[in-house]
């Protein structure tokens, strides 16, 4: 059975001539990756960095074709996709920097010594590649979180081969980006089987279940992610499943901030909610505003900005249908008022944006209906009467990827809200909007369950590489046997912790 490519703008479907992968195909891809794993782990850090840079260059060389295909399969527009491709290439080059730095290895050396516990042997520890990594492409970012996305970049940076499951929403884009990765891999002499691509729903299940796969990275819905997570844990040998699953991402406006910046905050909320048709996992879904004139002015500004919009194309027809069903469901919830809708896009998968309102009592009474993510351009304003009331409401919410606070300098409500956010989310923002996740050394994109399957790790930023590594401690190894990262002369010039003291070599 061949894979179909759907154009959400025109409604046209194209036969790609790409066959869905059978379980045998997945097994062959995993076997090829496993065959590459041992050699890949021995390649130098500098070679690994050059590989990542070569992939970025290959993607840039194919930019015109890749962007055109992605636009035809997502309707996201050439400008947005051009920016996303730049981000995608930056991710590969960024991880090349991470690799060359070498700090990710966590190299530690403890020379033999006498201690209060008695003699201690020579102990040295570093992180090593985990093995074959399965990667699931996401629907909403056909480049930066898909085949050439951050999971792929960080896994290759860790020295792990990958088997990537293409998202069904953009098969031709997936194939084109994979071809660029493959070409670059061949150019630098990567071991055969270092990168692999499979298609189809059954292929995804087979990938998680294959005994050669050591870990999986996933970005998508809670339902799909949790189902795959359960399969990963029920294997004879369970494996880590790093799923980023989305959340409602609360945003709180203090009374002082509403009084000072009602217009700007209201318009900013709508910009964040509607960005990319609301198809961002970091979209704010619940916006807490103070009851009273300042809160009313903020909401009015948001509604005015929303109804002036024309709607947008969603990624697929089924995603649009689920979104509109969710909006229709909100329409039926007692105590919830629809504040307004934007116009509807005329494209095949076109839709609108919507804003709703309720009070804290309604949120508490209809918690299951209101405190869940609706993927698309919709948000609920929740009016609160006091600091104690909003803090109690926040405490009842599930964990989130982000938590945003809009406040003023020396805001009396700021510290308590900040503490609530730290307890609830992986990233806490002040006077900003959560849509958009930067690639940097300090970024964390994740959160406690159900926002993600592991609160300890991130799918974006330098420490995303940590998911694909495991520690090994070497005791009393002869000097010639030591990995380069753990040698006393530090030939790699990387950070080492020696007898408890962190040392950074001059380069």
227 with 343, same domain: the answer is no
| Sheet strands side by side (includes 501-503) | 469-475, 123-129, 108-110, 496-498, 501-503
**Is 281 annotated as catalytic?**
yes
4 phi/psi in degrees, rounded to 5: -95, 145
* Beta partners for residue 379, in sequence order: 355
Angle (deg, nearest 10), helices 150-157 and 78-101: 20
244-269 per-residue burial string, b: 16 or more CB within 10 A, e: under 16: bbbbbbbbbbbbbbbbbbbeebbbbb
241 with 346, same domain: the answer is no
Q: Does residue 476 sit within a domain?
A: no
- What CATH number is given to the structural domain containing 80? 3.40.605.10
Q: Does residue 300 sit within a domain?
A: yes
Give every residue of the chain whose pLDDT is below 50, as ranges.
none
pLDDT digits 0-9 by tens, 256-313: 999 999 999 999 999 999 999 999 999 999 999 999 999 999 999 999 999 998 888 9
241 with 259, same domain: the answer is no
Catalytic-labelled residue, pool 53, 84, 209, 244: 244
Q: 162 with 195: CB under 8 angstroms? A: yes
Integer Cα distance of 206 and 498 in angstroms: 44
266 with 136, same domain: the answer is no
Name the DSSP letter for residue 148.
Answer: T
Catalytic-labelled residue, pool 30, 89, 160, 281: 281
54 with 197, same domain: the answer is yes
Domain encompassing residue 55: 27-245+454-469
Q: 156 with 48: CB under 8 angstroms? A: yes
266 with 225, same domain: the answer is no
209 with 285, same domain: the answer is no
pLDDT digits 0-9 by tens, 450-500: 999 999 999 999 999 999 999 999 999 999 999 999 999 999 999 999 999
Integer Cα distance of 345 and 375 in angstroms: 17
Q: What is the pLDDT of residue 400?
A: 96
Q: Does residue 478 sit within a domain?
A: no
288 with 413, same domain: the answer is yes
48 with 165, same domain: the answer is yes
Q: Does residue 238 sit within a domain?
A: yes
Integer Cα distance of 471 and 482 in angstroms: 15
The total of structural domains in the chain comes to 2
Q: Does residue 157 sit within a domain?
A: yes
Integer Cα distance of 474 and 480 in angstroms: 13
146 with 285, same domain: the answer is no
175 with 292, same domain: the answer is no
234 with 271, same domain: the answer is no
Integer Cα distance of 38 and 130 in angstroms: 10
**Is 328 annotated as catalytic?**
no
The tokens 């307004």 sit on which residue?
Answer: 340
Quick one: which of 348, 339, 290, 293 has its CA closest to 6?
348
- What CATH number is given to the structural domain containing 346? 3.40.309.10
Within 8 A by CB and 6+ apart from 170, the residues are 5, 69, 70, 73, 74, 137, 139, 142, 146
């Amino acid at each position: 059975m061949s894979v179909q490519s759907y154009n959400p703008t025109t409604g046209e479907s194209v036969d790609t001539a790409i066959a869905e992968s059978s379980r045998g195909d997945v097994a062959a891809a995993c076997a090829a990756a496993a065959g590459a794993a041992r050699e890949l782990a021995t390649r130098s850090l500098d070679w690994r960095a050059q590989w990542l840079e070569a992939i970025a260059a290959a993607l840039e060389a194919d930019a015109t074709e890749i962007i055109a295909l992605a636009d035809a399969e997502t309707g996201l527009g050439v400008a947005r996709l051009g920016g996303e491709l730049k981000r995608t290439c930056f991710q590969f080059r960024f991880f090349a920097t991470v690799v060359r730095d070498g700090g990710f290895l966590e190299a530690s050396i403890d020379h033999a010594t006498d201690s209060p516990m008695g003699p201690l042997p020579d102990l040295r520890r570093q992180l090593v590649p985990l093995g074959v990594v399965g990667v699931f492409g996401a629907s909403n970012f056909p480049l930066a979180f898909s085949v050439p996305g951050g999971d792929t970049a960080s896994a290759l940076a860790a020295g792990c081969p990958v088997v990537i499951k293409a998202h069904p929403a953009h098969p031709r884009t997936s194939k084109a980006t994979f071809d660029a990765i493959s070409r670059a891999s061949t150019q630098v002499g990567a071991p055969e089987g270092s990168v692999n691509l499979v298609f189809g729903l059954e292929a995804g299940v087979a990938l998680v279940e294959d005994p050669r796969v050591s870990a999986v990275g996933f970005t998508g819905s809670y339902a799909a992610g949790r189902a795959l997570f359960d399969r990963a844990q029920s294997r004879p040998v369970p494996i880590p499943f790093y799923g980023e699953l989305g959340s409602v991402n609360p945003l709180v406006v203090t009374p002082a901030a509403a009084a000072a910046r009602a217009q700007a905050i209201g318009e900013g909320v709508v910009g964040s909610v509607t960005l990319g048709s609301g198809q961002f996992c970091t979209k704010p879904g619940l916006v807490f505003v103070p009851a009273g004139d300042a809160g009313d002015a903020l909401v009015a500004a948001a509604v005015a900005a929303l109804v002036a919009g024309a709607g947008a194309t969603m990624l697929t027809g089924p995603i649009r249908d689920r979104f509109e069903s969710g909006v229709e469901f909100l329409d039926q919830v007692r105590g919830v008022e629809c504040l307004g809708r934007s116009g509807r896009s005329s494209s095949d998968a076109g839709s609108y944006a919507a804003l709703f309102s309720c009070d804290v009592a309604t949120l508490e009474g209809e918690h299951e209906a209101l405190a869940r993510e609706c993927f698309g351009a919709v948000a609920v304003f929740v009016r609160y009467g006091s600091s104690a009331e909003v803090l109690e409401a926040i405490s009842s919410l599930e964990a989130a990827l982000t938590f945003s606070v809009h406040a003023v300098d020396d805001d009396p409500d700021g510290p308590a809200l900040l503490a609530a956010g730290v307890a609830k989310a992986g990233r806490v923002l002040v006077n900003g909007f959560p849509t958009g996740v930067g690639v940097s050394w300090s970024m964390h994109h994740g959160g406690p369950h159900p926002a993600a399957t592991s609160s300890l790790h991130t799918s974006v930023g330098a420490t995303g590489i940590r998911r694909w590594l495991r520690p090994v401690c070497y005791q009393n190894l002869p000097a010639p046997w030591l990995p380069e990262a753990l040698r006393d002369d530090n030939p790699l010039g990387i950070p080492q912790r020696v007898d408890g003291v962190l040392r950074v070599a001059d380069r």
